[in-house]
């Protein structure tokens, strides 16, 4: 099967329309709607069906229904246009990728593009980060002196928030790690053997850059999620797990080398972090629970958390818990749909792991699944709401796992390894 064909045209159109979804404007709404219609119409012309079929279709449909219902609970829907467009765009890209990634060559190409995107996010996110209080970010203050760049994109935030940056990078790091065993083998499964060493050095460089970016976020939630996800990744030998554990402990100790310093009021840095992060989150969680109690069935609508001063201050922007935030804005049915998507994707990753698929596919699926698991752990103490700009990489991860699973199913390879 050709790696490139007319099947790619809808994806190309989606990429061209991407800026309109990411930075929606009222005057361009008709272009977005027409664009989605063209994409599905072209799929029908090529394949005689609008959408490919996946095990999580029902959950995605329920999520869409709850987002649509939420529109009628919002007084001014223009305030939610960004998140609504972001959710639609993520789902569009998900189905377009699932429909395209039907061959081994295309999957390999998609992995290369995905990993390259992770490198770009690490570099751009680190350079464009908003300033962090040096008291709670001693690594950057005492060790790294990386310049900050203002990109000044219309419709974008004034800078990249370190916490969402760290949470987004969790989707990329595990899959890069899982490729290392294959790159270390003399028998190279991806391409010509001469590309093995350049690919190995490139993967190591990618991991180093992403690791530095994660360290500089000073996001304890990101560190904890990544450490636990790697620990539970599966089939790690005990010495490897011990090394991971000690590296994580060393990172924590190193990041708080200056814990003897005090801040206003005489409290230590550690106590300040606990006060601002843990206690502050408890208050936000209580507010989020109040929203769910008052609007359990339909929620208050997408992107309304930060626009509902009755419950939150605008600066909070989210409920600091992915599940609580989803329940508050899309109701409990929306939360059930989101949880069902996660359960479905973990089930597919498990089936791929137990299958007779090629080793690189099983490792890729495990790395992607581990990334989503780390992303989910991160979501227990923070949130990248559905429809947020970084969320597109969540949907791409789902699409890649789904594609590997469907490839195995269609080729009769979803059977246990002997």
Burial label for 306, CB within 10 Å (0-12, 13-18, 19+), is: middle
Of the candidates 316, 321, 296, 295, which has an alpha carbon nearest to the alpha carbon of residue 306? 316
Which pLDDT band holds residue 347 (cuts at 50, 70, 90)?
very high
pLDDT at 156 over 60: no
Q: Which position has the higher pLDDT, 145 or 215?
A: 215
Which pLDDT band holds residue 37 (cuts at 50, 70, 90)?
low
Domain residue spans of the chain:
6-410
pLDDT of 259 reads: 44
pLDDT at 361 over 60: yes
pLDDT of 201 reads: 87
pLDDT digits 0-9 by tens, 49-98:
667 889 999 999 999 999 888 888 777 777 677 788 888 888 988 998 99
pLDDT digits 0-9 by tens, 326-342:
998 899 999 999 999 99
pLDDT digits 0-9 by tens, 236-245:
555 555 566 6
Which pLDDT band holds residue 352 (cuts at 50, 70, 90)?
very high
pLDDT digits 0-9 by tens, 255-300:
554 444 444 444 445 555 555 566 667 777 877 788 888 888 888 8
pLDDT of 332 reads: 94
Contact between 222 and 163 under an 8 Å Cβ cutoff? The reply is yes
- CA 72 – CA 75 distance, rounded (Å): 8
pLDDT digits 0-9 by tens, 116-145:
999 999 988 888 777 665 544 555 545 556
Q: Which of 7-16, 23-32, 46-55 has the lowest mean pLDDT?
A: 23-32
Q: Which of 196-200, 212-216, 325-329, 373-377 has the lowest mean pLDDT?
A: 196-200
For tokens 């409920």, the residue is 319
Which pLDDT band holds residue 374 (cuts at 50, 70, 90)?
very high
């Amino acid at each position: 099967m050709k790696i490139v064909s007319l099947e790619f045209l809808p994806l190309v159109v989606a990429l061209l329309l991407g800026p309109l979804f990411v930075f929606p404007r009222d005057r361009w709404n008709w272009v977005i709607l027409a664009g989605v219609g063209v994409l599905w119409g072209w799929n029908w012309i090529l394949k005689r069906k609008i959408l490919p079929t996946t095990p999580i279709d029902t959950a995605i449909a329920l999520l869409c229904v709850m987002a649509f219902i939420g529109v009628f609970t919002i007084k001014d829907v223009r305030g939610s246009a960004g998140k609504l467009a972001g959710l639609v765009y993520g789902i569009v890209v998900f189905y377009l990728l699932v429909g395209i990634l039907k061959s081994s060559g295309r999957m390999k190409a998609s992995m290369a593009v995905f990993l390259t995107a992770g490198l770009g996010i690490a570099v751009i996110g680190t350079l464009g980060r908003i300033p962090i209080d040096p008291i709670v970010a001693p690594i950057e203050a005492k060790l790294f002196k990386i310049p900050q760049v203002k990109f000044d994109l219309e419709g974008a935030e004034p800078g990249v928030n370190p916490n969402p940056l760290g949470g987004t990078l969790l989707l990329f790091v595990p899959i890069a790690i899982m490729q290392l065993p294959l790159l270390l083998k003399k028998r190279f499964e991806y391409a010509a053997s001469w590309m093995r060493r350049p690919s190995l050095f490139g993967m190591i460089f990618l991991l180093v850059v992403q690791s530095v970016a994660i360290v500089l976020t000073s996001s304890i939630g990101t560190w904890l999620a990544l450490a636990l996800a790697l620990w539970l990744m599966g089939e790690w030998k005990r010495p490897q797990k011990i090394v991971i554990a000690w590296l994580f402990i060393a990172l924590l100790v190193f990041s708080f080398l200056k814990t003897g310093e005090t801040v206003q009021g005489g409290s230590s840095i550690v106590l300040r972090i606990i006060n601002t992060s843990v206690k502050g989150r408890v208050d936000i969680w209580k507010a989020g629970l109040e929203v769910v109690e008052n609007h359990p069935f339909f929620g208050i609508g997408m992107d309304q958390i930060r626009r509902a001063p009755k419950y939150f201050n605008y600066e909070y922007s989210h409920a600091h818990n992915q599940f609580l935030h989803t329940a508050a804005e899309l109701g409990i049915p929306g939360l059930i749909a989101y949880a069902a998507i996660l359960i479905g994707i973990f089930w597919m990753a498990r089936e791929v792991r137990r299958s007779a698929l090629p080793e690189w596919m099983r490792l890729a699926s495990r790395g992607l699944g581990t990334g989503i698991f780390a992303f989910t752990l991160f979501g227990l103490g923070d949130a990248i709401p559905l429809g947020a700009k970084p969320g597109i990489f969540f949907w791409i991860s789902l699409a890649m796992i789904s594609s590997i699973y469907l490839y195995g199913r269609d080729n009769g390879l979803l059977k246990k390894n002997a």
